[in-house]
Chains A and B, each alone.
Chain A
Amino acid sequence: MTALLLDDVSHTFGTRVALAHLTLGVRPGRVTALIGLNGAGKTTALRALAGRLRPAHGVARVLGHDPAGLPADVAARFGQVVDTPLVHQELTVTENLVCAARLHGEPGRAAAPRASAAVGRMGLEPWRHARARSLSMGNRQRLGIACATLHRPTALILDEPTSALDPQGVVIVRELVRELADDGAAVLVSSHHLDEVARIADEIVVLHAGRDVGRLEPGGTDLEQRFFAMVLDADTRAVTDAGSRS
């Protein structure tokens, strides 16, 4: 079964095409990376998959359900960080994690141990009692990822999860994602960091101008070169197609 699915999804913002007939599936135990230039449609795809955007065409499914209205038992197995995380600036790190645990369906008595474990896991001990507003951008990102994963989801969406992290944070997130996938979770990650993607992903989907323009093998040292070749090829084909139509 495909745990995360976008099926023939299209969406426009005004006249700008954000997604064009995108079909994408992530199976349990796999990490799929979505890569592309700025404005390629990565975040729009993830928002549609998280239920935060109703696509004009096509279907999004999380664990077989419409993500805009997940049943509670299904939602309890789902996590997402797209753009802004579930972090409230006036709350402390621990309070944010306890709140996230409660909202992910953990009973009150289980929320504090979950929060404590997440603090340790993400290397946030020195800031355990600090307000989120006082955290650095990197620590805020660690906290956001912790809030989305402390319930051990079986379907997970992360948008640029390492964009503000230091090398230690990158390793922590990489290990967390791999561990969840090894436990059977389906993980969809968007990223600009091709080196990072190469280390973490089982499959790489290249998105360009809202379209799936191909897949890349994660291995090898020439990922960046292959990515740009694929994007250039997509642009060339688009120009050729436009020319033949006119």
Chain B
Amino acid sequence: MTPVAALGAALAVETLKLRRSVVARLATLLLVVLVPLASVGAVALARSPRAVGATAAKLTAYATGDLATTHLMVCAQVLSVATLFAAGFFLAWSFGRELESGTAGALFGLAVPRGTIALAKCLVALAWIAGCTILAVAVSMAVSAVVTASSGAPFAGAWAGARTALVAGLLGGGLALPFAWVATVTRSQLGTVGGLIGVVALTQMVVLLGGGSWFPYAAPSLWTGMGGADAAAAVGPPHLLVAAAVAPLAVAAVVHAWRRLTDV
């Protein structure tokens, strides 16, 4: 069996598992339906006379500016975090449950090596989260097009916002890959989810201390404007490249860990 054939077999198996996964089905639904609704709904609420007090203060950034651009800006901000959580939960399940349930032990002595299976899990997760991101942005644009058409507002600004949303969503998904390694090391799905929540909390602290742009988990969200215009301007291609580099490094680490897996 050639390495390419082995990867093909592993991809077929892992794709089937993803299609049958309750975690993946729920996450797909949430990303493709809730993100567009949140994007358009948050802007509508911000521009509604009913938004007063704390709500109005929190949504100030969405209250003015081009309507379609703002829809897609919110979409990018939500996606940058939502894809991290969705992919993180899926990877916790995909890797952690094999080790928790003991099926990882059955993956020994197969013609398809364990490292190839781990690589396939990562690639399938990335492809799935990329598909969800594209769908979420496409649905957001469609809903935005309907809203702008009905209010007579221009739609042209949506395209640049869509590009930002796609990049933010993909970066968020890629940043989840280290949790495949966490699941492998901890051999625990809940432990991995705990690690994911811990990293999100740490990101908040890093941003509060002003070190966000070089912190991979903060850079995509800041770039989308979640921390304000000044923080967004401080994030450039080098910062985003650092965030993008996390995924391949994590894949290499998790493949290595699965090759060396023992005591299962």
A residues neighboring B (CB under 8 Å)? 47, 50-54, 62, 67-70, 72-73, 75-76, 78-91, 95, 99, 102-105, 107-108, 144, 147-148
Contacts and interface: CB of A to CB of B under 8 A. Distances in A.
A47 to B, nearest CB: 7
Interface of B: 1, 5-6, 8-10, 12-13, 16-17, 20-22, 101-103, 105-113, 117, 259, 262-264
A99 B259 CA distance: 20
B110 A84 contact: no
Nearest to A92: B20
Nearest to A76: B111
A83 B102 contact: yes
A81 B111 CA distance: 15
B120 to A, nearest CB: 10
A105 B12 contact: no
Contacts of B106: 80-81, 84-87, 144, 147-148
B58 to A, nearest CB: 40
A54 B262 contact: yes
Of all A-B residue pairs in the complex, the 6 with the closest CB atoms, nearest first, are A84-B102, A105-B111, A86-B106, A102-B9, A90-B20, A76-B111
Contact of B16 (A78, A95, A144, A147): A95
Contacts of A72: 1, 6, 111-113
B103 A104 contact: no
Given A88-B17, A91-B17, A50 B112 contact: no
Contacts of A84: 101-103, 105-106
Contact of A102 (B112, B262, B263): B112
B8 to A, nearest CB: 8
Contact of A76 (B1, B22, B103): B1
Interface centre among A50, A67, A88 (most CB of B within 10 A): A88
A89 B102 CA distance: 12
A203 B172 CA distance: 57
Contacts of A70: 109
B17 A90 contact: yes
B109 A50 contact: yes
B18 to A, nearest CB: 10
A63 to B, nearest CB: 10
28 contacts: A50-B109, A51-B108, A51-B109, A52-B262, A52-B264, A53-B262, A53-B264, A54-B262, A54-B263, A67-B109, A68-B262, A70-B109, A72-B112, A73-B111, A75-B111, A75-B113, A83-B102, A85-B103, A87-B103, A88-B20, A91-B16, A102-B112, A103-B9, A103-B10, A103-B13, A103-B107, A108-B9, A147-B106
Contacts of A53: 262-264
Contacts of B5: 107
Contacts of B17: 88, 90-91
A80 B62 CA distance: 59
Contacts of A104: 110-111
Given A83-B105, A87-B103, A103-B13, 12 more contacts: A47-B105, A50-B108, A52-B264, A69-B259, A75-B109, A83-B102, A86-B106, A88-B20, A91-B17, A95-B20, A103-B111, A105-B112
B230 to A, nearest CB: 47
B1 A73 contact: yes
A108 B10 CA distance: 11
A52 B263 contact: yes
A3 to B, nearest CB: 13
Interface centre among B12, B22, B105, B264 (most CB of A within 10 A): B105
A102 to B, nearest CB: 4
B13 A86 contact: no
A38 B96 CA distance: 28
A70 B111 CA distance: 8
Contacts of B16: 91, 95, 99
A173 B55 CA distance: 67
Interface centre among B13, B103, B105, B111 (most CB of A within 10 A): B111
Contact of A99 (B13, B21, B111): B13
A86 B109 contact: no
Contacts of B101: 84, 89
A81 to B, nearest CB: 7
Contacts of A91: 16-17, 20
A105 B1 contact: yes
Given A91-B20, A102-B13, A52 B111 contact: no
Nearest to A151: B111
A17 B117 CA distance: 33
A69 B112 CA distance: 11
A74 B117 CA distance: 18
